[in-house]
Structure 1
Amino acid sequence: MNLANKLTVSRLGLTVLLVLLLVLRLPYADTAALALFIAAAVTDFFDGRVARDRGQITPFGVLMDPLVDKVLVCAVFIALIERGRLDAHWPVQVHAWMAIVVVVRELAITGLRLLAASRQLVLAAERYGKHKTTSQMIAVVALLTLLAVQEWPESLSAWFLPWVPVAALVMLWLAVVLTLWSGAIYLWRNRSLYLEGV
């Protein structure tokens, strides 16, 4: 297994540990979860770059890299449902329906790509899909920061608390809207794949 694929697989391990930290609620677990998510996002950036620079692009990497990204984001959204309201003053909360939107969209698009692959077709990533992924990653960082900042000393948290809840709320809703929008566009543009023979 080459370095790029090892980085991809390491993200699965980080995902499991991150979800455990969010669920178990140990001291400073939210801060550790934030650090792990950022580490996972960094490995996501580097595994693709390493694969391209070293000529290590493999069928495993092409399949698993986007799949692991989806598992990571979906797992965090699902884990955050249990946390309820994340801020005492702002209505920042990952509702079950929001997580369902994210999970269903990712499953639908993955299914569509598998259908295309079975017909020897490759569906390229759409611009809206890239915006969706970026918004989801930023939303998760903002949400985890909102949890983590409550564990930090007051001298540090005082700088974050005035604006992090607002940023988390805005990014959460933006991520949900872009998830719906990008999924709808992708399904519509590739409708010939699943409507064929209907």
Structure 2
Amino acid sequence: MLTLPNILTLSRIVAVPLLVALLWRPDPIEYALTFALYCLVGITDYFDGYVARARGAVSRLGIFLDPIADKIMVAAVIMMLASTRAHTDPVIHGLHIVPALVILIREIAVSGLREFLAGLQISVPVSALAKWKTTLQLVALGALILGEAVPQWPWIHLVGLASLWAAAALTMITGWDYLRTGLRHMD
């Protein structure tokens, strides 16, 4: 049960409180440390699946935990980047809160849909497009964190915002795909 892939997945969940703590204070050094940890955690998202498939160690626990770890991390980072902290504006604000909300709402809705379908013993596998969506979300949030670490390079923040909007677009597309699948099994 505690295989290397599952340990990597669990490490992402365990890292979330540390990410939140580092994002708590709006300081470029804290953001730089957050970015380094965020990259390390993001890399484990790739390697847990790769190692599981390469070693034939795909497990039910891993299948269950992997999307949860992604959702917890993305939701926590979005919340921290969109929150107002003393002496600074939130990183995600104004109209840019819309893609953040789209991402959060979709994640909750798809989780509920998966739970409903699991009760019917219907599995909804993660699509390739959904994996790209997650990758784009991770890139967007990473760029937003890095943009705060190096404010002298405002283009990084703009890349983060553009990626956030693109991730929200993919989020809507994949959310619709899951909903369409789920509607086939509803009365």
Smaller-chain TM-score range? 0.7 to 0.9
The answer to whether the 8 A contact 1:126-1:186 is kept is: no
How far residue 115 of structure 1 moved from its aligned partner, in angstroms, is 1.9
Query: Aligned partners of 1:97 and 1:168: how far apart in 2?
Result: 14
Structure 2 counterpart of 1:93? 93
Please, which runs of 5 or more residues in structure 1 have no aligned partner?
87-91, 151-156
Once residues 46 and 125 of structure 2 are traced to their aligned partners in structure 1, the CA distance between those partners, rounded to angstroms, is: 18
1:121 partner SS? coil
Which of 139, 158, 170 lines up with 1:178 in the alignment? Answer: 170
TM-score scaled by length of structure 1: 0.82
Residue in structure 2 matched with residue 77 of structure 1 by the alignment: 78
Shift of 1:24: 2.9
- Structure 1 segments of 4+ aligned residues over 4 angstroms from their partners: 94-97
Query: d(CA) in 2 for partners of 1:70 and 1:120?
Result: 22
Q: Aligned equivalents of 1:185 and 1:55: distance in 2? A: 29
Aligned residue type for 2:93: Q
Contact map agreement 2:110 2:179 (CA 8 A) in 1: yes
With 165-174 and 70-79 compared, the bigger mean Cα shift is at: 165-174
1:50 & 1:127 partners in 2: Cα distance? 18
Q: Which has the larger radius of gyration?
A: 1
Aligned length: 181
- Give the aligned CA root-mean-square deviation in angstroms: 2.0
Structure 2 CA distance, aligned partners of 1:15 and 1:136?
16
Matched, 1:130 2:131: yes
Match of 2:156 in 1: 164
Q: Between 135-144 and 180-189, report the one with greater CA deviation.
A: 180-189
Name the CA shift for 1:2/1:127 in 2 (closer, same or farther; >3 Å). closer
Q: Where in structure 2 are the equivalents of 1:7-18 lying within 5 Å?
A: 7-18=8-19
Indicate how the Cα distance of structure 1 residues 80 and 162 shifts in structure 2: closer, same or farther if over 3 A, else same. Answer: closer
> Aligned partners of 1:147 and 1:177: how far apart in 2?
24
Structure 1, residues 17-58: CA drift from partner, whole Å, max 9, x if none? 011111133561100111111001111111111212222222
Where in structure 2 are there 5+ consecutive unaligned residues?
Answer: none
Q: Cα deviation per residue 1:93-124 (whole Å; 9 max; x = unaligned)?
A: 37554433222211111121222222222112
Q: CA deviation at 1:192?
A: 1.8
Mapped contact 1:4–1:61 kept (Cα < 8 A): yes
